[in-house]
């Protein structure tokens, strides 16, 4: 069994567009902008032996606002550019009640089964309460990136940071402590 880092996509890997204090995903590949420093952070985590898996809700497909092809084009670009093992995308809306849509842990559990991931030795990193809740339900440690959105905050994440750059220090620091 291996350890993994599960990452939300919009706001963690790439910049979210902020409107009215709330984050929104890029509409297409042209509007995609990676978070500054994300390549370095992911390389460090991958080099430390973590499997990197993006877990993303993309309800705008179900809402008819964005095409599935546009989301898949962004995901393919990210897979090509970053040391990501897989991207698990939920195209459903809240009302669909599916297990793969965060805050449900279905996408994390499916990835764990597929790649022999030990969820208890893994992390879920996100910028919204649903990310943290899914990680907790799956049994992962959680890291909340606090961009101070105008929305519900997560309940009791294991760690709170203000930028992606702080993440590898936390995760690699925990591993350093365990190896002593």
DSSP conformation letters of the chain: -B-EEEE-SBTTTBPPEEETTEEE--SSGGG--BPTTHHHHHHHHHHTT-EEEEEEE-TTTTTTSS-HHHHHHHHHHHHHHS--SEEEEE---GGG--TTSTTS-HHHHHHHHHHTB-GGG-EEEESSHHHHHHHHHHT-EEEEE----SSPPPS--SEEESSTHHHHHHHHHHHHHHT-
Per the CB < 8 A criterion, the answer to whether 25 and 143 are in contact is: no
| Distances in whole angstroms, Cα of residue 57 to Cα of each of 10, 62, 172, 180 | 9, 11, 27, 38
Q: Does the annotation count 93 as an active-site position?
A: no
Q: Could you say which of 8, 60, 127, 131 is catalytic?
A: 8
Q: Does the annotation count 60 as an active-site position?
A: no
> Could you list the active site residues?
8, 10
């Amino acid at each position: 069994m291996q350890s993994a880092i599960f990452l939300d996509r919009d706001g963690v890997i790439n910049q979210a567009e902020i409107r009215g204090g709330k984050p929104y995903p890029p509409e297409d590949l042209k509007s995609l902008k990676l978070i500054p420093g994300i390549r370095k952070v992911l390389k460090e985590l991958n080099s430390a032996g973590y499997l990197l898996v993006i877990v993303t809700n993309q309800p705008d497909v179900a809402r008819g606002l964005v095409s599935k092809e546009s989301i898949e084009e962004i995901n393919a670009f990210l897979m090509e550019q970053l040391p990501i093992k897989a991207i698990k995308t939920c195209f459903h809306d809240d009302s669909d009640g599916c297990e793969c849509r965060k805050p449900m842990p279905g996408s994390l559990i499916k990835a764990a089964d597929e790649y022999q991931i030990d969820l208890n030795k893994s992390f879920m990193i996100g910028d919204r309460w649903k990310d943290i809740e899914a990680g907790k339900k799956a049994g992962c440690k959680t890291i909340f990136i606090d961009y101070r959105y105008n929305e519900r905050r997560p309940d009791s994440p294991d760690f709170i940071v203000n930028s992606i750059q702080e993440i590898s220090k936390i995760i690699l620091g925990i591993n350093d402590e365990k190896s002593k």
